[in-house]
């Protein structure tokens, strides 16, 4: 076979591989891992805001010590549970992470509800700024989770659909479907509001 024939054969093989979905699985996997990093980044942002929020509330509502303690403890627990990109195929680890974050969300909700009892606190510029940042962060967490779920869905679908299933069963046979976020227990019921 001549050099030109070999060169053309290599180009043909390269085009065949690029058109057959071989690169789809690793590309989608990396996209899902990147989206998971976004989720972790937003949860970390929230965790970083909490000490300032607690300190601000503490100055006004010292008698609400149990609520403040619950927030600090929930933050500590939430930051201790980490899920690396290599753990994304383990639904139990993702569930533990999600549960810890849900506990923190609940504790923060109780803290913000307590602030309603303190008009001076509600008008404090630091508290208002922190509350606004926290609300923005919660929105960012929601968007990051949605983007992660979409990326995982695309990756998991690629593992099961033609033509990428061929590569999933051969070259990428060690790749498992990634775990998705699930709704927290009781999230299908609206929260009770008491005045």
The reply to whether 183 falls in a domain is no
Residues contacting 18, CB < 8 A, separation 6+: none
Q: Considering the domain boundaries, does residue 192 fall inside one?
A: no
The pLDDT-based confidence of 191 (bands split at 50, 70, 90) is: very low
**CATH number of the structural domain spanning residue 50:** 1.20.1440.20
Residue 13 lies in a domain: no
Q: What is the pLDDT of residue 123?
A: 79
What percent of the chain is predicted at pLDDT more than 90? 50
The span from the CA of 159 to the CA of 129, in Å, is: 45
This prediction's pTM: 0.77
Domain annotation covers residue 58: yes
In a domain, 67, yes or no: yes
Total domains in the chain come to 1
Q: Please, what sign has the CA dihedral across residues 165, 170, 176, 178?
A: negative
Residue 192 pLDDT > 90, yes or no?
no
| Spatial distance between the Cα atoms of 122 and 141, rounded to a whole number of angstroms | 24
Residue 70's closest CA among 103, 113, 116?
103
75-82 contacts at long range (C-beta below 8 A, 24 or more positions apart): 75/47, 75/50, 75/51, 75/104, 75/107, 77/103, 77/104, 78/43, 78/47, 78/103, 78/104, 79/44, 79/47, 82/40
Q: Is residue 42 domain-resident?
A: yes
Q: Which domain holds residue 115?
A: 22-169
pLDDT of residue 33: 95
Inside any domain, residue 15: no
Rounded Cα–Cα distance for residues 105 and 103 (Å): 5
Tell me, yes or no, whether 8 lies in a domain.
no
């Amino acid at each position: 076979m001549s050099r030109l024939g070999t060169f053309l054969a290599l180009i043909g093989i390269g085009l065949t591989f690029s058109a057959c979905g071989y690169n789809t699985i690793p590309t989608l996997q990396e996209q899902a891992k990147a989206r998971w990093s976004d989720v972790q980044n937003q949860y970390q942002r929230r965790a970083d805001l909490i000490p300032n929020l607690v300190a601000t509330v503490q100055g006004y509502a010292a008698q609400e010590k149990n609520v403040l303690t619950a927030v600090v403890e929930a933050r500590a627990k939430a930051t201790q549970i980490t899920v690396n990109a290599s753990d994304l195929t383990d639904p139990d680890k993702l569930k533990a992470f999600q549960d810890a974050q849900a506990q923190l969300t609940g504790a923060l909700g109780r803290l913000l509800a307590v602030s309603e009892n303190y008009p001076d606190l509600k008008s404090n510029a630091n508290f208002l700024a922190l509350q606004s940042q926290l609300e923005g962060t919660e929105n960012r967490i929601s968007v990051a989770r949605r983007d992660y779920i979409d990326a995982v869905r695309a990756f998991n679908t690629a593992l099961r659909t033609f033509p990428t299933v061929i590569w999933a069963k051969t070259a990428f046979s060690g790749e498992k479907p990634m775990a998705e976020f699930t709704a927290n227990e009781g999230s299908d019921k609206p929260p009770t509001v008491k005045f």
